[in-house]
A and B are shown apart, each in its own frame.
Chain A
Amino acid sequence: MVSLAPACRLSARLTVRQLRRDATVRGFRASAKCLAAHNFTMPALSPTMTEGNIASWNVKEGDSFAAGDVLLEIETDKASMDVEAQDDGIMAKITQGDGSKGIKVGTRIGVIAEPGDDLNSLEVPAEDIPAKSPTKVEAPEPAPSTPSQAPKPFRSPKKQTYPLLPSVQHLLHEHGLDQSAIDKITPTGPNNRLLKGDVLAYLGSVSSTYPTELSARISKLSHLDLSNIKLALPPAPKATKQAEAASEPVVEDLEIAVPVSMKAVIEVQKRIQSTLGVFMPLSTFIARATDVANDSLPRSKSYKPTADELFNQVLGLDGAASTNGYRGSFLPQITALPELTPALNPSLVPSKKADIIDILTGNAKPSKPSFSAKPSAGISTAVNVFSVKAPKGDEKRAEVFLERVKAVLESEPGRLVL
């Protein structure tokens, strides 16, 4: 629009010059010299409309129209509306043609003349630039001072505009002070109100500075003191953090081990082979026992509840969930005890032989081979050590898990495969 305006003005000026020349050439006017051509500006068709597009003009330049005739159709972002003429007139000029987009309210879109005006002698009025915004035009008012600013130490006595407080009135009456005395007392109350303390100070019953101190104190306490709030420090560079992390002692996983006899398993395995003719590898038994044992373990101490769980806790729904327990994901590592497993496949024997005491006390190094290694019928007899690594806080879970594995494999392994 800004770029359009000078162009419009230029074209208007050129037209006027042309019109003037025509008039001088013709040398006469058909009607009285017109005075009252006026700008037709973009109307605001709703209180929220700021700009609009011109869909189409229903009149042409030079057409006369009557009050109530539709002059043009305007599209806004909400609707398209017809603009009616309020008065009879002639459309002297159209400055924004059909299809003009985004015309601000108040911008000139045409010039209207009175009925009977001679268009040739028409003075096109200058476009009044619409005020950018009414709020900007007004001088910014100084911010009103806050009513409860800290009282100055010595305020001059001020005429009381408020009715006196009952306590003040009583005190004045009691001491026989009259109206002229009131004006001499320095008020310390809000909005310069006279308080009982002011009168007492004036009378000398309390220290003369006391009311001022008190009002300063009240004014201080009436605001939340945010002055000593500091911005949070920016996060420290990553490198130093990593260094710190490295220097920190790593929480070591604990290893928990339980000796489990595979005797019952092997018996069941043999029985199945003899009756059904199907070979059930040991790994199947162990995998199923693991699966069963992982079910509904007690919750880890380091477990952080999720938002949903916290919400349920608030609603008192957490009891129901906790009865089911929490599924674990332990995977036991199996070590055959060397003295008890003479037939053990050498590949599965750990390179360094672990002492049972070490194992039981948790000092043993984790053994490399896992039960997921190719199962061999070789681990057939006697006791294997099942061990799991548990992070700190999860020992209880690991213990429960291993107890269950042991119970399942030793007492009724048949149920695992049936």
Chain B
Amino acid sequence: MFSRALRTGRAAPLRRGAFLKSALVKRTVTTDAASAHADRDAVPEEDDKPFQIHLSDESFETYELDPPPYTLETTKKELKQMYYEMVSVRRMEMAADRLYKEKKIRGFCHLSTGQEAVAVGIEHSLTPEDDLITAYRCHGFAMMRGGTVKSIIGELLGRRDGIAHGKGGSMHMFAKGFYGGNGIVGAQVPVGAGLAFAHKYNGNKNTTVALYGDGASNQGQVFEAFNMAKLWNLPVLFGCENNKYGMGTAANRSSALTDYYKRGQYIPGLKVNGMDVLAVKAAVQHGKAHTTAGLGPMVLEYVTYRYGGHSMSDPGTTYRTREEIQRMRSTQDPIAGLKQKLLEWNITTEDELKAIDKDARTFVDKDVAEAEAMAFPDATPQILYEDIYVRGSEPQFVRGRTPDENYYY
């Protein structure tokens, strides 16, 4: 009797909650890339003089958290830099696409065309001392964290001068403050928590951004990392790049709760318009302040969209319509959105933007050509066994498959 009473008593609020939720779904984060606005008169003449931008009210959604300020301070120079970087990332991904289709890049290749605002926005709110770790869709992040186009494309082509000496490929790129490029779905999240623990341990005022996809957010280790991060109040910004499809499965077909920013349960969450580079910057800036103040981790959800397939072997049109992709591409594109704002706010002229486009393009094309001319690594044991250990810390030897394959340093 008692238990039945309990059950009915609990069921009622649940149902009420479900009703409320369906009403709430209508008001959600926008994916409009050009939703911010600024006073044209407030925009200064000088490139370096800061001014304020007002983000759209629909840029954020929060969970157990006060929303970040809807104003963002920036400069003309930074905005132009953001634009240049987003165009460069897109150009590089397009070059990778071309090289893959020419069969020069082999193996895995996951492109982030359409998701550039996340990489660029995050980088613009971090310092070089902060850490970033992400999954296998990592070309843009590698570039933003200091990898050159030449070294990244060289890595994809398997060349000796690639960012991982041609041994990592698309999924495994590393730079200072950038811990990859991880091929195992979700495995980078606990590693990210560890990186944050290092900051806390060393007493640094730095934060770690640990990114994963909407597909990986259902991985058990993600929740294990959440637990330890909250338990120890680690300065980590868990970030779910929600591009709506985990491989070929729509988020609502794979996840019981598609509000990925609420997945932290006991961790405050923030859902961000991931197509608007300014909103991403504002959110991560706020998150960084939150974590470095010792308030513990935060779960962010970047609502974004990828134009291409999951990887190069996925045409990307079997689980979504071409019209959907074209609609996102033509109306919500992060680059086009920022371009529109730059023109609207009188920050640049059409010609200047064209020049930036061309500049980025020639820069990428030149680097790609140089990468293609790079040499392959020699097929020697010395090259095979190097970099297993930090240079200088190698043991006497490393075992091979058979004793005569043993390599002696």
Contact = CB atoms under 8 A, between A and B. Distances in A.
Nearest to B408: A162
A161 interface: yes
Contacts of A81: 315
Contacts of A162: 397, 408
B380 to A, nearest CB: 10
A147 interface: yes
Contacts of B322: 68, 70, 82
Contacts of B317: 82
Interface stretch (B12-20, B94-102, B146-154, B172-180): B94-102
A147 B326 CA distance: 59
A67 interface: yes
Nearest to B322: A70
B66 interface: no
A105 B379 CA distance: 28
A235 interface: no
A161 B315 CA distance: 52
B94 A86 contact: yes
A140 interface: no
A360 B408 CA distance: 88
Nearest to A138: B376
Given A67-B329, A68-B326, A70-B322, A41 B315 contact: no
Given A67-B329, A68-B329, A147-B404, A106 B315 contact: no
Interface string A243-274: 00000000000000000000000000000000
Most buried by A among B101, B329, B330: B101
Given A68-B325, A68-B329, A81-B315, A47 B408 contact: no
A105 B313 contact: no
A190 B406 CA distance: 12
A41 B379 CA distance: 31
B8 to A, nearest CB: 52
B315 A82 contact: yes
B106 A47 contact: yes
Contacts of A41: 101-102
Most buried by B among A47, A70, A161, A163: A47
Chain A: number of interface residues, binned into ranges: 20 to 34
Contact of B103 (A66, A69, A105): A105
Nearest to A148: B404
A106 B103 CA distance: 8
B307 interface: yes
B396 interface: yes
A44 B404 contact: no
B313 A47 contact: yes
Main secondary structure of the interface of A (DSSP, over half): loop
Interface in B66-98: 94, 97-98
A86 B408 contact: no
B135 to A, nearest CB: 21
Given A68-B326, A162-B408, A106 B313 contact: no
A59 B113 CA distance: 23
A44 B313 contact: no
A86 B326 contact: no
B101 to A, nearest CB: 4
B250 to A, nearest CB: 19
Given A163-B408, A190-B404, A44 B325 contact: no
Contacts of A43: 101-102
Nearest to B403: A190
A66 B396 contact: no
B408 A161 contact: yes
B329 A45 contact: no
A309 interface: no
A191 B402 CA distance: 14
Contact of B97 (A86, A190, A191): A86
A225 to B, nearest CB: 21
Interface in A23-43: 41, 43
Contacts of A82: 315, 317, 322
Contacts of B379: 141
A116 to B, nearest CB: 10
A46 interface: yes
Given A45-B101, A47-B106, A87 B325 contact: no
A47 B101 CA distance: 8
Most buried by A among B94, B97, B103, B325: B103
Contact of A163 (B103, B313, B329, B396): B396
Interface in A167-193: 190-191
A190 B107 CA distance: 37
A69 B322 CA distance: 9
Nearest to B91: A87
Interface string B41-53: 0000000000000
Nearest to A50: B103
Given A68-B326, A82-B315, A44 B100 contact: yes
Contacts of A147: 404
Contact of A86 (B98, B107, B396): B98
A83 to B, nearest CB: 9
B329 A191 contact: no
B6 to A, nearest CB: 54
A105 B103 CA distance: 8
Contacts of B313: 46-47
Nearest to B307: A68
Interface in B355-409: 379, 396-397, 404, 408
Interface string A339-382: 00000000000000000000000000000000000000000000
A286 to B, nearest CB: 76
A223 to B, nearest CB: 14
A87 B408 CA distance: 50
Nearest to A163: B396
Q: Which 9 A-B pairs have the closest CB atoms?
A: A43-B101, A44-B103, A86-B94, A68-B329, A44-B101, A162-B408, A68-B326, A163-B396, A81-B315
Interface of B: 94, 97-98, 100-103, 106-107, 307, 312-313, 315, 317, 322, 325-326, 329-330, 379, 396-397, 404, 408
Given A44-B100, A67-B307, A68-B307, 13 more contacts: A41-B101, A44-B102, A45-B101, A45-B315, A47-B103, A47-B106, A47-B312, A67-B329, A82-B315, A105-B101, A163-B397, A190-B404, A191-B404
24 contacts: A41-B101, A43-B102, A44-B102, A44-B103, A45-B101, A46-B313, A67-B307, A67-B329, A68-B307, A68-B325, A68-B326, A68-B329, A70-B322, A81-B315, A82-B315, A82-B317, A86-B97, A105-B101, A105-B102, A106-B103, A162-B408, A163-B408, A190-B404, A191-B404
